[in-house]
Amino acid sequence: MGISRVTEPITADDDTIRSALKDAFLPALLPALAHATGDLSILRDELRPRTLAPAVPQAGLPAEAQDAARELALEAIRRIRDGAVAPNSHTIEEDVKRTVAWMTDSPASDEYVHLLMEELAPEGEDPRAPDWRMDPAVRFSVVVIGAGMSGILAAIRLQQAGIPYTILEKNADVGGTWLENTYPGARVDVSNAFYSYSFAQRVDWPTHYSAQGTLLDYFRSCAEEYGIRANIRFGTEVIEAAFDEPSRSWRLRVKGADGAEETVVAQAVISAVGQLNRPNVPNIPGRDSFAGPSFHSARWNHDVDLAGKRVAVIGTGASAAQFIPPVAEQAGELLIFQRTPNWFVPVPHYYDSIPAGLAWLYRHVPHYIHWQRFWLFWTTTDGMLPAARVDESWQPRDRSVSQRNDELRQLFTAYLQAQFADRPDLLAKVLPGYAPASKRLILDNGIWARTLKRENVRLYTEGIREVTPAGVVTDDGVEHAVDVIIYGTGFQASKFLTPMRIVGRDGIELNEQWDGDARAYMGITVPHFPNFFMMYGPNTNIVVNGSIIYFSECEMRYILGCLRLLVEGESRAMDCRPEVHDAYNERIDAANRQMVWGVATVNSWYRNEKGRSAQNWPFNLVEYWRQTREPNPEDYSFI
């Protein structure tokens, strides 16, 4: 499957266009047409979005305003079709600033406009691509660990900068989490326009939120289009990476698919293994005694036929909430063992295909998908962040941490109450008693309630005492006999980079230095580990405000800036200064303590074994963009 990124010429008649406009999201379509035609008079005051709340249809535009907007859009599309578009008399920056002010009813700073110019790529370019290339005479190479989303991005940028690189990938193909997680129902919980590279926007997504197979195809296509496959060594796992001070290089001990080991040498290493790559299988007494098949959702055993079987699912987190509904349709009986209920965000179109009319508009209206991306960027990212921030004067804090957070709790509570109005017994089990955003929120279109109400589904909230050869024993002493056990228990998010052994200067081992409490400067570099860079490292997880792809693009630009300092300077290695690293992490920790996940006591992978959030980013998106635009040489020692 190729990536369809270029809009197609418009040849349709007016009736076809008018029909397509019935499916349009107008607050993003009008800016796209103003952009495409250069006619900002399209952005009329009476057609402004009335609300930025993500769930409100057409941003609250009344019916008569929608009709007027569609007629205006028809006329603009007709002009594009007929070649009647006049040259634009404004600069792109001016247009973007005026358009953002129309969409959000607030002025955008020059800095924010600069960020949007990168996100929107309004002139079809790739603003985040390196504007320099390494001198071929310089001997400098990079090893990238992992060929998932971040690894593919790293390779693309290294290739654009002319830096030789090799990707070491333990699997047989690219895709990372979207290759490994093949459980039924697997899909992303960030809208397609935002869960994709800014420079590789598709105009032909089949659904609003892509399923696993679609995303795997997307990343495979990116790898093909940018020609990076030739630089990937598949079936190659990194056992150890050690910095050699005399040569200022990294020596990586790797194991091939045949078990043979060898050493790979490079001047820099980029770890693109992320946080969520090692399954967490709980240490339940008797776990290995179970006589039937058992497996973790991230290692789904497709050879096990669940049809008519009595199946136990342990865990109800994000992955489990996706695979439980299809498993319920197959199993004869499904027993769900829940430790903590989830807050669900109502998204009625979560599983829906993109309507035919909207799909036509994406394919034919220039910039539409980019302005849709901006709308998502503004309304579903930083717009949600204040609801996760702690109000110190707010009491009590057991169920909410501020007025905004409590409004969110009331909204989500009302949703669950409506979904389970006919089953108060289930409502008592599924209604959380902690503040929203303390742990991961889950998108839902009503399928969770429909599944739990099925005749063949049972939800248990008692703790699990042990696993026996026959099944699961709960704390009340009841043994639940089952044929299959599926663990939907998440990942070892706090154990960064494991099971790799990373050795820096003076023989310091990274996980020993971290001692279960991972920290990094910008989430990217760590003192005593020169030229070792991380993507999706400590404190770069986005909770309520963004896409990890956005962070990866920011991280890779920063890494390229570091590499440029090395290949164009006199030193070939740079080491983060401890005092810079420590001050940065003090700021991160202080900010995380002001977020709901920093004060919550509910169990969550958002905190490590020491009770600290080593995962989450506590600020807005523009802040990370600002701090990663280019490295400050004074933050590093050059050796």
- Residue 89 is predicted with a pLDDT of 53
* 635/460 Cα distance (integer angstroms): 52
Q: Comparing 31-45, 169-183, 397-411, 539-553, which segment has the lowest mean pLDDT? A: 539-553
**Is the pLDDT higher at 384 or at 204?**
204
- Residue 62 is predicted with a pLDDT of 97
What average pLDDT score do residues 562-580 get?
97
pLDDT in tens, 421-441: 999 999 999 999 999 999 999
Q: Model confidence at 90, in pLDDT bands (50, 70, 90)?
A: low
pLDDT in tens, 332-371: 999 999 999 999 999 999 999 999 999 999 999 988 988 9
**In the numeric block, which tokens belong to residue 188?**
């992303």
pLDDT in tens, 206-264: 999 999 999 999 999 999 999 999 999 999 999 999 999 999 999 999 999 999 999 99
Phi then psi for residue 70, to 5 deg, are -65, -40
Q: Model confidence at 1, in pLDDT bands (50, 70, 90)?
A: very low
Is 30 a residue whose pLDDT tops 80?
Answer: yes
Is 2 a residue whose pLDDT tops 80?
Answer: no
- CATH architecture, domain 142-277+493-638: 3-Layer(bba) Sandwich (3.50)
Q: Comparing 368-382, 440-454, 509-523, 586-600, which segment has the lowest mean pLDDT? A: 368-382
Q: Do domains 142-277+493-638 and 287-350+395-487 have the same CATH topology?
A: yes
- Residue 5 is predicted with a pLDDT of 60
* 511/502 Cα distance (integer angstroms): 8
Q: Model confidence at 374, in pLDDT bands (50, 70, 90)?
A: confident
What average pLDDT score do residues 501-524 get?
96
- Residue 278 is predicted with a pLDDT of 83
Q: Comparing 94-98, 265-269, 281-285, which segment has the lowest mean pLDDT? A: 94-98
The 8 Å CB, 24+ separation contacts for 196-200 are 196/549, 197/153, 197/222, 197/549, 197/553, 198/118, 198/119, 198/121, 198/126, 198/128, 198/373, 198/549, 198/550, 198/553, 199/121, 199/126, 199/128, 199/129, 200/3, 200/5, 200/225
- Residue 382 is predicted with a pLDDT of 65
Longest dimension (CA), the chain: 77
Average predicted confidence (pLDDT) for the chain: 93
Cα 36 → chain centroid: 29
Name residues whose C-beta falls within 8 Å of residue 312's C-beta, 6 or more positions apart in sequence. Answer: 335, 336, 337, 471, 472, 480, 482, 484, 485, 486
* 544/369 Cα distance (integer angstroms): 22
Output the DSSP codes for 436-470.
TTSS--EEESSHHHHHHTSTTEEEE-SPEEEE-SS
Positive or negative: CA dihedral 109, 113, 119, 120? positive
- Residue 115 is predicted with a pLDDT of 85
- Residue 6 is predicted with a pLDDT of 65
- Residue 123 is predicted with a pLDDT of 60
What average pLDDT score do residues 454-480 get?
98
* 161/136 Cα distance (integer angstroms): 10
- Residue 105 is predicted with a pLDDT of 85
pLDDT in tens, 287-328: 999 999 999 999 999 999 999 999 999 999 999 999 999 999
Is 445 a residue whose pLDDT tops 50?
Answer: yes
Report which of 279, 282, 173, 188 is spatially closest to residue 236, judged by C-alpha positions: 173
Q: Hey, where are the domains in the chain? A: 14-127+356-382, 142-277+493-638, 287-350+395-487
Exposure b/e, 63-78, CB count within 10 A at least 16 = b:
eebbebbbebbbebbe
Q: Assess contact for 250 and 268: CB atoms under 8 A.
A: yes
- Residue 28 is predicted with a pLDDT of 95
Q: Assess contact for 580 and 588: CB atoms under 8 A.
A: no
CATH of domain 287-350+395-487: 3.50.50.60
**Full-model pTM:** 0.94
